[in-house]
């Protein structure tokens, strides 16, 4: 290794070439597409990505890693910044009137476990500018993202991700293919942002309903949402009142949100 992984940054470097190839294959971007790698570290994915996609940009917060990457890949577009502050619109090249056009960026990354959720929500918010994201996360988080209603893993991440993207679990990754080895297993997921238009709900309102409901997930919705209903001067519809949040599909959360906020669609 050229430098030691930093625990404070959650760095676990991939060392298995087969897993590297599978992740890069999963990006499935045209050769000239704009590809953005999150947190390249030592560049395990970067070399193969650059071979296939000359329009590659990497975003790395670690100054030592940036210096290593500049030495290893002198012509690479390297952005020394925190991924949570990235302006994704700068990478999309979207055409006016076509927010989900072919010009959206492709994102790939081995995400630090401790900031997986903020990165994920940032990508969901930037969905107009992204075509596809291929992300390695803690396996438990990946399972929550793709979980179905009624399952133990189903929750906030499941509902919000499934309403704003098409998530798919691609494959599991053993902790033994990293240095240092993490304490947990990992998995690679894909998120496709190929919707044909705007979502039929206010994202901020939806997130508030979902988070409030799952904040007391063992209670019926008439109890867990009573405070919100009082604030909005409304009541929860009978069809939802005696159900618990894990029983509602993402689409039912949209219906519930629009009803509570009196959105006329």
Please check whether residues 175 and 210 belong to one and the same domain.
no
Same-domain status, 165 and 219: no
Over residues 201-209, mean pLDDT: 95
Instruction: Note whether 140 and 54 are same-domain residues.
Output: yes
Residue 20 domain-assigned (yes or no) = yes
pLDDT, one tens digit per residue, over 54-69 is 999 999 988 888 998 9
Q: Kindly state whether residues 11 and 125 are assigned to the same domain.
A: yes
| For residue 99, pLDDT beyond 80 | no
Q: Per the domain annotation, does 125 fall within a domain?
A: yes
Give the per-residue pLDDT at 195: 61
Q: What does the chain look like in DSSP terms, one character per residue?
A: --SPPPGGGT--EE--HHHHHHHHHHH---TTS-EEEE--TTTTTHHHHHHH-TTEEEEE--HHHHHHHHHH-TTSEEEES-GGG--THHHH-PBTTBTTSTT-EEEEEE--GGGHHHHHHHHHHTGGGEEEEEEEEEHHHHHHHHPPTTSTT-SHHHHHHHHHSEEEEEEEE-GGGEESPPSS-EEEEEEE---SS--SS-HHHHHHHHHHHHTTTTS-HHHHTHHHHHHHT----HHHHT--GGGS-HHHHHHHHHHHTT---
Residue 75 lies in a domain: yes
What is the pLDDT confidence band of residue 143, given thresholds at 50, 70 and 90? very high
Residue that terminates a domain, selected from 192, 215, 243: 192
CATH number at residue 108: 3.40.50.150
136: in domain: yes
Residues 217 and 180 in one domain: no
265 inside domain: no
**With bands split at pLDDT 50, 70 and 90, how would you rate the model's confidence at 7?**
low
* pLDDT score of 12: 67
Tell whether 214 and 184 lie within a shared domain.
Answer: no
Residues 114 and 139 in one domain: yes
- Do 104 and 207 have their domain in common? no
What digits encode the pLDDT tens for the residues 17-42? 899 999 999 999 999 899 999 989 88
Alpha-carbon span 58 to 159, nearest angstrom: 29
pLDDT of residue 100: 40
Do both 11 and 92 map to the same domain? yes
Q: What does the pLDDT read at residue 2?
A: 56
Name the domain count of the chain.
Answer: 2
Same structural domain for residues 241 and 187?
no
Q: Is the pLDDT score of 97 beyond 60?
A: no
Q: Pick the last residue of a domain from 168, 192, 216.
A: 192
Averaged pLDDT of the chain:
88
- Judge if 52 and 158 occupy the same domain: yes
Residue at 127 is within a domain:
yes
What's the domain range around 243?
203-260
pLDDT of 96 > 50? The answer is: no
Burial of 83 (C-beta count, 10 Å sphere; 0-12/13-18/19+): buried
Q: Decide if 179 contacts 1 (C-beta within 8 A).
A: yes
Are 15 and 50 part of one and the same domain?
Answer: yes
User: What is the model's pLDDT at position 3?
Assistant: 59
Q: Which of 149, 173, 192 is the last residue of a domain?
A: 192
CATH number of the domain at 234, please. Answer: 1.10.8.100
Asked whether residue 37 is assigned to any structural domain, the reply reads yes
Whether residue 198 lies inside any domain: the answer is no
């Amino acid at each position: 290794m050229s430098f030691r992984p930093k625990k404070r940054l959650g760095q676990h470097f991939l060392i298995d070439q087969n897993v590297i190839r599978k992740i890069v294959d999963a990006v499935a971007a045209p050769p000239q597409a704009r590809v953005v790698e999150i947190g390249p570290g030592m560049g395990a994915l970067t070399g193969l990505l650059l071979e296939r996609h000359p329009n590659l940009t990497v975003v790395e917060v670690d100054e030592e890693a940036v210096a290593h990457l500049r030495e290893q890949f002198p012509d690479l577009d390297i952005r020394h910044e925190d991924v949570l502050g990235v302006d994704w619109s700068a990478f999309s090249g979207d055409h006016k009137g076509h927010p989900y056009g072919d010009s959206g960026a492709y994102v790939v990354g081995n995400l630090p476990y401790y900031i997986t959720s903020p990165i994920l929500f940032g990508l969901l918010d930037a969905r107009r500018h992204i075509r596809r994201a291929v992300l390695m996360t803690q396996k438990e988080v990946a399972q929550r993202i793709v979980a179905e209603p009624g399952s133990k893993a189903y929750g906030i991440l499941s509902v919000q991700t499934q309403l704003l993207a098409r998530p798919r679990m691609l494959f599991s990754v053993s902790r033994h293919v990293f240095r240092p080895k993490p304490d947990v297993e990992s998995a690679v997921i894909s998120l496709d942002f190929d919707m044909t238009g705007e979502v039929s709900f206010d994202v901020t309102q939806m997130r508030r309903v979902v988070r409030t409901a799952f904040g007391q997930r063992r209670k019926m919705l008439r109890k867990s949402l009573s405070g919100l209903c009082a604030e909005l001067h409304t009541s929860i519809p009978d069809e939802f009142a005696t159900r618990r949040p894990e029983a509602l599909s993402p689409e039912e959360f949209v219906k519930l949100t629009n009803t509570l906020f009196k959105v006329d669609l």
